[in-house]
Amino acid sequence: MSSDAGSFDDLLHEDRRFPPPAEFVAQAAVDAEDLHRRASEDREAYWASWAEELDWFEPWETVLEWDPPFAQWFVGGKLNVAHNCLDRHLRGSRRDKTAILWEGEPGDTRSFTYSELHKEVSAFANALRGLGVGKGDRVTIYLPMIPEAAVAMLACARIGAIHSVVFGGFSPESLADRNNDAEAKVLITADGGWRRGKVVPLKANADKAMERSPTVESVVVVRRGGELSQQVDARMKSGRDLWYHHLVEEARPECPAEVMDAEDILYILYTSGTTGKPKGVVHTTGGYLTQAYATTRAVFDLQEDDVYWCTADVGWVTGHSYIVYGPLANGATVLMYEGAPDHPDRGRFWELCQNYGVSIFYTAPTAIRAFMRWGDQWPERYDLSSLRLLGTVGEPINPEAWMWYREVVGGERCPIVDTWWQTETGAMMITPLPGHTETKPGSATRPFPGIDATILDEDGDETSSGYLAVTSPWPSMLRTVWGDEERFRATYWSKWDDVYFPGDGAKRDEDDYLWILGRVDDVLNVAGHRIGTMEVESALVEHPATAEAAVVGKKHDIKGEAIAAFVTLKEGRQGTDDLMQELRDFVGSKIGSIAKPEMVVFTADLPKTRSGKIMRRLLKDIAEGRTVGDTTTLADPAVVQRLQAQHEEKG
């Protein structure tokens, strides 16, 4: 697990309680008690009632067909996600409502009303069709946080193409791997994007990835980087690369939305698992949109005049469900910001909240801990009175950060929704409802109405401390792993019979509140980003100096976890500081900067059991400077003593 057991017990003694504020109880967007009652009486009818709030071209015949582990929701129903996020809002006053407010890191701004966004999406959808993209084809999106990222996703959805968004911080190699696994036909990128005052050279990365992406026929390039554009202009490869703005200018702005089956694939999103190879999580259309829509409305208590800001990147699932699909399906006004929270200074997020009158703010614990460390003076410098609700997602939030968020950002008036979910769940699963749930700092509280989540032990029996489990299918669940049904079964459905295993540990307190404790598998959560230890290990052993590598998570005040790597070198190689840096950079170039180990320890041997299994638990103890646990199963217990002595020497 990603934190030590002591702190879990402390958590359970957390006795601060925050009842829902009276205004939320009085004007809640949903009647939570009614949702809970209907969900417990007839779960399928309850989910169907949410689905009915969307536009369907043809109604479904059956709400759920469950042939474990395969679920189909709203079977036979036809709809289109882009139609639901755009066209549906053009009928009334939402036509001219702002859909996207955007600010670039340098301070440039743009905005789109629903009708403008509809036009842009339709034009780009036609352009994609012109490039030969049709229903079911895969399109990789590798963009900075600019409106075109949302436009590209919606344009794919409009024509039934399957998008695979790759976070702009991933390396060319990671991008190529994803292009190849999905067999993408088109890649959409930008000349660059701004991050901490520097241009991220996305097109250059894309060019490198293209050297080994044989299925990609065309590369669409959004013009973003200013001066950089001229250099990129010179490198546009004729017959392959096309400027986005040329395509959109030339395309017709009307594009009928493809009629999609509820179970047609909307997107693939790659996420880290316990092997070296990221898996393509597959989400479909009707169930996914229903749950993204329902949770956005209920959990954020979305009201018509809210200005909603989720600080995630569209490269992660949070950006998919809670920047694009959930909020736009609800007709919300969404703020998007391109850059870093500390550029040009550490007040940037609060300045944005003030300037745009943000009322709902959704971010990650790692960001909250960084803000906390930067000091109260930054939020205090700005008028944050427009905020009315705060959210967090991505990792367990420590009560101290939760309290700081509540007091300093939320002025003690904003409820906090701590939402537990995953790339695989597609949408929120365990979360407070702000007009209903009494919150406790650090607890995601209870399952959303219609979600059956509990805690089981190894044998599948209910317990108050063990593994988190989801016992019934839910609308936005992943349907499979792209191209690897076996991995889908093995990863999520093999621990117990017909019960989903998310890979997290959890505890239940006396009020039936759930406390998520972090991963129980070899997946790290670094600053809210999932990274598989095996991915980093595979990258490390590709370096010519490395013989063997073991990677563990190490507690980190801001990031939650940092990566610690233990490396044995090939004969004749010296473990110098230069090599340490080289290995860190090497991992950065293989996977992306987020995967760079913070700590590299050279060691002559790794602690292994007699059967040859690396004992990561012991390495974690060493990395975190703890007394090393039981070493009796080790083939050579002296390895640990040597490592520990070495670690202590280094301080």
Residue 300 φ/ψ, nearest 5 degrees: -90, 0
Pick the piece of the chain touching ligand PRX (CB under 6 A) from 62-70, 76-84, 390-398, 637-645. Answer: 390-398
Instruction: Output the 3-class SS for 543-577.
Output: CCCEEEEEEEEEEECCCEEEEEEEEEECCCCCCCH
Q: Report which of 201, 141, 143, 208 is spatially closest to residue 176, judged by C-alpha positions.
A: 208
Q: Which is nearer to ligand PRX, 325 or 586 (CB)?
A: 325
Look at the alpha carbons of 380, 385, 391, 396 in this order and tell me if their dihedral is positive or negative: positive
Out of 395, 522, 535, 621, name the contact with ligand PRX by CB under 6 A. 395
503 touching ligand PRX, by CB under 6 A: yes
- 398 sits near ligand PRX (criterion: CB under 6 A): no
3-state secondary structure 467-522: EEEECCCCCCCCCEECCCHHHHHHHHCCCCCCCECCCEEEEECCCCCEEEEEECCC
Q: Residue 179 is encoded by which pair of tokens?
A: 């292009």
Residue 396 interacts with ligand PRX (CB under 6 A)? yes
**Helix-strand-coil percent breakdown of the chain, rounded to 5?**
35, 25, 40
**Are 309 and 384 in contact, with CB atoms under 8 Å apart?**
no
Q: Which residues contact residue 120 at a Cβ distance below 8 angstroms, ignoring those fewer than 6 apart?
A: 112, 147, 151, 248
Beta strands 480-481 and 279-284, pairing class? antiparallel
Nearer CB in complex with ligand PRX: 194/371: 371
Please, what is the minimum distance in Å from the beta carbon of residue 295 to ligand PRX? 11
Q: Give the tokens for residue 100.
A: 């996207």
Segment near ligand PRX (CB under 6 A); pick from 20-28, 41-49, 167-175, 513-521: 513-521
| Residue 518 sits in the site that holds ligand PRX (CB under 6 A) | yes
Strand residues in 201-278 grouped as ranges (E): 218-222, 241-243, 260-261, 265-271
**Hey, which residues between 308 and 337 contact ligand PRX (CB under 6 A)?**
317-318
Q: Nearer to ligand PRX by C-beta: 331 or 391?
A: 391
Which residue is listed with tokens 């002296």? 638
Interface with ligand PRX (CB under 6 A), residue from 113, 189, 330, 419: 419
Q: What do you get for the CA distance between the two ends of the chain, in Å?
A: 24
Contacts of 259 (CB under 8 A, 6+ apart): 57, 58, 78, 79, 80
Shortest distance in whole angstroms from residue 609 CB to ligand PRX = 26
Q: Does 530 bind ligand PRX (CB under 6 A)?
A: yes
DSSP annotation of 161 reads: P
Angle at 600 between CA 570 and CA 622, to 5 degrees: 110
Q: How far is the CB of 427 from ligand PRX (least distance, A)?
A: 9
Q: How many residues bind ligand PRX (CB under 6 A)?
A: 22
Q: Which stretch binds ligand PRX (CB under 6 A): 203-211, 219-227, 394-402, 599-607?
A: 394-402
The yes or no reply on residue 269 touching ligand PRX (CB under 6 A) is no
d(CA 199, CA 232): 12
- Contact mark string toward ligand PRX, 426..465, x via CB under 6 A: ------------------x---------------------
Task: Considering the complex, state which of residue 169 and residue 331 has its C-beta at the smaller distance from ligand PRX.
Answer: 169
Residue 294's φ and ψ, nearest 5 degrees, are -65, -45
Stretch touching ligand PRX by CB under 6 A, among 37-45, 175-183, 372-380, 414-422 = 414-422
Shortest-Cβ-distance residue relative to ligand PRX: 423
Candidate list 201, 394, 466, 592; residue touching ligand PRX; CB under 6 A = 394
Of all helices (H) and strands (E), which one includes residue 198? strand 198-200
CA-CA distances (angstroms) from residue 239 to 220, 223, 540? 11, 18, 37
Residue 318 or 354 with smaller CB distance to ligand PRX? 318
Token look-up 């002595």 returns 645
Which of 525, 533, 538, 603 touches ligand PRX (CB under 6 A)?
525
Cβ proximity to ligand PRX, 264 vs 395, nearer residue: 395
DSSP E strand boundaries for 421-470 = 453-456, 465-470
- Interaction between residue 191 and ligand PRX (CB under 6 A): no
Query: CA 103 from chain center: how many Å?
Result: 21
Token readout for 553 is: 């998570």
Candidates 259-267, 490-498, 515-523, 588-596 — which segment interacts with ligand PRX by CB under 6 A?
515-523
Site for ligand PRX in 476-495 (CB under 6 A): none
Stretch binding ligand PRX (CB under 6 A), from 106-114, 163-171, 246-254, 516-524 = 516-524
Comparing CA positions, the residue from 387, 384, 385, 350 lying closest to residue 367 is: 350
Report which DSSP code applies to 166: -
For residue 11, the minimal CB distance to ligand PRX (Å) is: 11
- Minimum distance from CB of 336 to ligand PRX (Å)? 18
- Of the pair 255, 468, the CB lying nearest ligand PRX is at 468
Say whether residue 504 binds ligand PRX (CB under 6 A): yes
What does the alpha-carbon distance between residue 523 and residue 509 come to, in Å, rounded to a whole number? Answer: 26
Among 519, 596, 608, 647, binds ligand PRX (CB under 6 A): 519
Residue window 106-135: x/- pattern of binding to ligand PRX, with contact defined by CB under 6 A: ------------------------------
Give the nearer residue to ligand PRX in terms of CB position, either 396 or 607: 396
Side chain identity, residue 607: P
Distance of CA 362 to the CA centre of its chain: 12
Contact range with ligand PRX by CB under 6 A, out of 178-186, 225-233, 416-424, 447-455: 416-424
In the complex, the smallest distance separating the C-beta of residue 100 from ligand PRX, rounded to whole angstroms, is 21
Cβ-in-10-Å burial (0-12, 13-18, 19+) of 7 comes to middle
Residue 393 interacting with ligand PRX (CB under 6 A): yes
How many degrees, rounded to 5, is the angle at CA 363 between CA 360 and CA 365? 135
The verdict on 555 binding ligand PRX (CB under 6 A) reads no
In the complex with ligand PRX, the residue whose CB is nearer, 161 or 429, is: 429
Residue 529 or 590 having the CB closest to ligand PRX: 529
Task: From 595, 597, 636, 599, select the one nearest 615 (Cα to Cα).
Answer: 636
- Choice between 388 and 519, CB closer to ligand PRX: 519
Sites of contact with ligand PRX (CB under 6 A):
271, 317-318, 393-396, 418-423, 444, 502-504, 516, 518-519, 525, 530
